[in-house]
Amino acid sequence: MAEIITMPRLSDTMTEGVVAQWLKKVGDKISEGDILAEIETDKATMEFESFNEGTLLYIGLEEGATAPVDSLLAIIGEEGENIEDLIKEFKAAAKKEEPVTTKKEAKPESSISATKTLSLPTETKTVEKLPPVEILTNNGGRIFISPLAKKLANEKGINIQTITGTGDNGRIIKRDVEFYNPTGTNTKSTTPFVPKGEESYEDINNSQMRKVIARRLGESKFMAPHYYLNVEFDMENAMAFRKQFNSVPDTKISYNDIIVKATALALKQHPQVNSQWFEDRMRLNHHVHIGVAVAVTDGLLVPVVKFANEQTLQQIGAAVKEMAKKARNKKLQPNEMEGSTFTISNLGMFGITDFTSIINQPNSAILSVGAIVEKPVVKNGNIAVGHTMKLTLACDHRTVDGATGAQFLLTLKEFIENPVTMLV
């Protein structure tokens, strides 16, 4: 008996999906466990596995099509089975849904449309193409001007005898009037500016990921009362620590790994910052799962380093590196992006010295990390060359008071400025 396959819900935030690629075609034999298609969700592109056996009888969505969760995706049954009544029954039972967008109506979410050129309205272009009007001047000369240009000149109150035409055989056209410069009227050497190009633009369809990012960050920014705490840490000891640590063969850690580890240890001492806000309660998390923001083509993904306080620096480095690679290749699984209790966003590698981030709700805080900068600093009353790093803690005031956030940053400062304490 034929079975209907619907658009799966592949993540907790997924409301619709895009068929990135069909790996099977109508008529193919399907076994349980076969990969039918790749589905693009709001978080990643994932393989969709079949739990049915039989023949693929029907495909309900073309590649690149978008449809809500539970929409008709495919039908698997016995070869030659009549499925017309089954399709009609499914569509009749379905509630009102958004129309499915096919490739003929719109390009896939990740595509960029061809460059479009703005043009004049039809009636305007028609006027411009009419034969030029011939006007006699007071001295018997002739001026050739398009009807549209003549109309615009009259509206602007411009004497057409003062306009230099750039059209065929010196004809005055619309753009000559639009860019007419009266100050250059009596200066023969002054040539009026005429643009060579035309206005143009390109539309980029919003991907599922970008839509969800926009919605969730908008909700966070306008629902959670953000405030920000700014600090600047001395990085001399951290730099020396990393250099010595990486001198060990087959060992390599980054500054970001040090920050993740230090943050995790500080959060254990300040569970209020490691909390989450819900409408009816506040949750103090005793475990530390740190989300590490990773920039990808369509936006931002946040893989989660779970129990980060219990992991070594090498383990954190390996985990972040692996998940960042999977994120950029759209192979990150939903369970690898769920459950964060705190988030870190690091733009230091791009030369950004300081910035603020929007809290990844329901978490109560997010740490923005800037670049390490060489600058003059005061040490023991003397000016010396030092290296510092600026960090900004964004807090949800519903759960984290200013003093609580400040105490957390003091603890974090101790770990980062004395990284050997993280090994104890």
117-184 classified as CATH 4.10.320.10: yes
CATH says 208-423 is which class? alpha beta
Q: Which residue out of 226, 287, 387, 397 is catalytically annotated?
A: 397
C-alpha span between 37 and 29 (Å, rounded): 14
Mean pLDDT (whole number) for 131-138: 55
C-alpha span between 107 and 63 (Å, rounded): 10
Please, which pLDDT band fits residue 286 given cuts at 50, 70 and 90? very high
CB 172 within 8 A of CB 143: yes
pLDDT of 117 reads: 32
Residue 28 has pLDDT above 60, yes or no: yes
Residue 397 is among the residues annotated as catalytic for this protein: yes
Mean pLDDT (whole number) for 154-174: 84
Within 10 angstroms of residue 342's Cβ, the number of other Cβ atoms is 27
Could you state, in order of their start, the residue ranges of all structural domains in the chain?
3-93, 117-184, 208-423
CB 45 within 8 A of CB 330: yes
Please, which pLDDT band fits residue 212 given cuts at 50, 70 and 90? confident
Please, which pLDDT band fits residue 299 given cuts at 50, 70 and 90? confident
The kind and range of the H/E element at 242 are: helix 236-245
Burial of 388 (0-12, 13-18, 19+ CB in 10 A): middle
The per-residue b/e assignment along 207-221, b for 16 or more CB within 10 angstroms, e otherwise, is bbbbbbbeeebeebe
Average pLDDT, the chain: 83
pLDDT of 170 reads: 81
pLDDT digits (tens, 9 = 90+) for 36-51: 988 888 767 788 888 8
3-93 classified as CATH 2.40.50.100: yes
Would you give the DSSP letter of residue 49? E
Residue 120 has pLDDT above 80, yes or no: no
